[in-house]
Amino acid sequence: MTAPQEEQALLSSTASKEGLPFEESVVETAASEAVRPAPEPDSVSSSPTLPNKAASSSEDSEKALVKFDPLQRYLSEISKYRLLTREEERELGIRVKEYADKEAAYALVTANLRLVVKIALEFQRVWMQNLLDLIQEGNIGLMQAVKKFDPYKNVKFSYYASFWIKAYILKFIMDNWRLVKIGTTQGQRKLFFKLKKEKHRLIEQGFDPKPKLLSERLGVSEREVVDMDQRLDGWDVSLDAPVKNDSDTERIEFVSTQTESVEDQVSKKEIELLLHNKINEFRKRMTPREIEIFELRIFSDNPVTLQEIGDRYGISRERVRQIEKNIIRKMREFFKNELPDFASYSEDSGTE
């Protein structure tokens, strides 16, 4: 595998990870010092400017709640660090790799902070929120690039670091695009960034962007295309939110479920406990022979045969059947007297 191919593979492998340990690393210590703001900011005019964002006038800054714009101040801070030559990058990379040199790691990180801002601006149209969030995640990717950089492979550090920076920014966008993650698999991550582009490309070519055609172009299943399309077009909705502004009915009441509700489970437990107590009271009203027939025939998971009970007491099978029927009749009458709503419960449970 050539050096550019190796760096290209880092993007997909890094974005698929949930997180990488940075504690106790030389690079993290150096980078944390690099992004620390100075006590007094320099003139904003010397810092890089953003598109459609002019420097604030002195009159506006006096009226503003915050005297200095955080983004402009950060750009002013990183503009102090000069860029490195190819040979300087290689020399610093060797010092980091071979000797764990903190100063060398510091120099590599600070010299490439402007690269992180440049890449973050490319993703701003997708994120459409605070640019500093993307810059922060990109800086983490830059630290990881310094940690993993191999200066002996003759690859320019800025090129190598760009893949790590993009990987961390992409992962941050996917994790925070919705309250529920939408890019948990490799196929979903591919669809997240390519689905809309592929749709526009097909429309420009005169094709109808159906899920089947999109799945063939992107190498994923039709179901994944439909699911991702619905996720991107919709927004998160709270199940506890009311259906309408003037309604007390919540959305969760319309969601079907295959499991019992908490209220049904509690009521079922209470009924079982009540029946268990009443059955113990009913046992005290039976004769020893009736209790044995009740235990072995009516209240048993594996009831014995009528013949076995008849042989034990020296009576016929028919007589055992009559005693069993008489026990059930007396038990039903007992429950009707003791439980006012026993009739409705027996109907729901199918008891005859």
Q: What CATH number is associated with residue 345? A: 1.10.10.10
Domain boundary among 127, 145, 176: 176
- Confidence (pLDDT) at 107: 95
Q: Is the pLDDT of residue 103 over 50?
A: yes
- Same domain for 245 and 343, yes or no, is no
Q: How far apart are the C-alpha atoms of 81 and 59, rounded to whole Å?
A: 30
Comparing C-alpha atoms, which of 299, 302, 305 is closest to residue 320? 305
Percentages (nearest 5) of helix, strand, coil residues in the chain: 65, 0, 30
Average pLDDT for 119-126: 87
- Same domain for 11 and 110, yes or no, is yes
- Same domain for 260 and 144, yes or no, is no
Q: Is the pLDDT of residue 347 over 70?
A: no
- Confidence (pLDDT) at 19: 41
Please tell me the number of Cα atoms within 13 Å of 312 on its side-chain side.
Answer: 11
Domain boundary among 176, 206, 237: 176
pTM: 0.48
Give the list of residues 6+ apart from residue 115 with CB closer than 8 angstroms, or none: 142, 158, 161, 162, 165
Which one is predicted more confidently, 309 or 152?
Answer: 152
- The answer to whether the CB of 58 falls within 8 A of the CB of 45 is no
- Confidence (pLDDT) at 57: 44
The dihedral through the CA atoms of 117, 123, 128, 133 has a sign that is negative
pLDDT tens track for 23-64: 334 444 444 444 444 444 443 333 344 444 344 444 554 554
Which runs of E-coded beta strand occur in 119-217? none
Torsion of CA 244, 245, 250, 255, to 10 degrees: 30
The dihedral through the CA atoms of 111, 114, 115, 117 has a sign that is positive
Q: Is the pLDDT of residue 17 over 60?
A: no
Please tell me the number of Cα atoms within 13 Å of 212 on its side-chain side.
Answer: 2
Helix, coil or strand: residue 190: helix
- Same domain for 294 and 263, yes or no, is no
- Confidence (pLDDT) at 308: 87
- Same domain for 190 and 225, yes or no, is yes
- Same domain for 202 and 164, yes or no, is no
Least confident segment among 16-25, 90-99, 250-259: 16-25
- Same domain for 165 and 184, yes or no, is no
Structural domain including 306 reads: 275-349
- Confidence (pLDDT) at 67: 61
Indicate the pLDDT class of residue 132, thresholds 50, 70 and 90: very high
Q: How far apart are the C-alpha atoms of 319 and 297, rounded to whole Å?
A: 14
Q: What CATH number is associated with residue 242? A: 1.10.10
- Confidence (pLDDT) at 90: 93
- Same domain for 33 and 123, yes or no, is yes
- Percentage of the chain surpassing pLDDT 90? 26
Indicate the pLDDT class of residue 241, thresholds 50, 70 and 90: confident
- Same domain for 11 and 144, yes or no, is yes
Give the list of residues 6+ apart from residue 337 with CB closer than 8 angstroms, or none: none
- Confidence (pLDDT) at 219: 82
Q: What is the mean pLDDT of the chain?
A: 76
pLDDT tens track for 313-335: 888 989 988 988 998 888 888 88
Instruction: Count the domains in the chain.
Output: 3
Q: How far apart are the C-alpha atoms of 96 and 92, rounded to whole Å?
A: 6
- The answer to whether the CB of 121 falls within 8 A of the CB of 75 is no
pLDDT tens track for 85-99: 999 999 999 999 999
Interior CA angle at 43 toward 40 and 46, to 5°? Answer: 130
Helix, coil or strand: residue 219: coil
Phi, psi at 251, each rounded to 5°: -65, -30
- Same domain for 171 and 186, yes or no, is no
Q: Tell me how crowded residue 263 is: count the other CB atoms within 10 A of its CB.
A: 8
- Same domain for 138 and 236, yes or no, is no
- Confidence (pLDDT) at 14: 45
pLDDT tens track for 5-16: 444 444 444 444
Indicate the pLDDT class of residue 222, thresholds 50, 70 and 90: confident
| Length in residues, the chain | 352
Helix, coil or strand: residue 254: helix
Q: How far apart are the C-alpha atoms of 114 and 90, rounded to whole Å?
A: 19
pLDDT tens track for 149-194: 999 998 999 999 999 999 999 888 878 876 666 666 666 666 776 7
- Confidence (pLDDT) at 21: 38
- Confidence (pLDDT) at 81: 94
- Same domain for 67 and 149, yes or no, is yes
- Confidence (pLDDT) at 137: 95
Q: How far apart are the C-alpha atoms of 35 and 27, rounded to whole Å?
A: 12
Domain boundary among 223, 243, 268: 268
